[in-house]
Structure 1
């Protein structure tokens, strides 16, 4: 019985906003509903609608900066910084900066459109 999995071909999530999402483990890649791990690159000017997900989300910034509006507080993270957003928290993610933002996102349970609850969609 194999005791490990090496991911060499993550699932590239189709997007229409220029954001690269490579899911290494999670619902789309291997039907794992407990956790999702994704490598992402958000282009300059990118943003998502506000959402109130039913999962905790951890974000680690590799390069650039990313803006979070958490309830009514604006937080900006830079390379080398990380954050945990608790489930059922209203949040908006964006990159209003001039350079792309590269980061890792981990969701528990795994990211699912059925659990994200984006506004205006």
Structure 2
């Protein structure tokens, strides 16, 4: 019997958070031990933000619903549903949703997201 050449994810890893943000990792370090790529579905509540970080991975974001604010070094960018962005590794960035509705998006990191590589500022 040959090994299946696909994997259906029906039970993503829900990352425990304290800021109201939903993070469901479908593929990556937490779900299938894949350190090359992580794919996560996220919902950032209205008013959410996190500290500046300088990740050691490229991060791609695709906005499904709502808007998300990115402060990339000294430039502020706002993306809306249907828009996407790639932020190169070793770039200082801060993610937030200062708007009044939740933002639903996909985040893809290469190599995969890990707390050891994100380099969040205190």
Smaller-chain TM-score bracket: over 0.9
Match of 2:36 in 1: 34
Match of 2:16 in 1: 14
Matches of 1:74 and 1:22, distance apart in 2: 26
Gaps of 5+ in 2: none
Match of 1:45 in 2: 47
TM-score (norm 1): 0.99
Matches of 1:28 and 1:57, distance apart in 2: 17
Matches of 1:95 and 1:26, distance apart in 2: 24
How many Å apart are 1:21 and its aligned residue? Answer: 0.1
Aligned length: 120
How many Å apart are 1:48 and its aligned residue? Answer: 0.5
How many Å apart are 1:112 and its aligned residue? Answer: 0.2
Match of 1:67 in 2: 69
Divergent runs of 4+, >2 A? none
SS of residue paired to 2:53: coil
How many Å apart are 1:113 and its aligned residue? Answer: 0.2
Question: What is the RMSD of the two structures over their aligned residues, measured on CA atoms?
Answer: 0.2
Matches of 2:96 and 2:27, distance apart in 1: 23
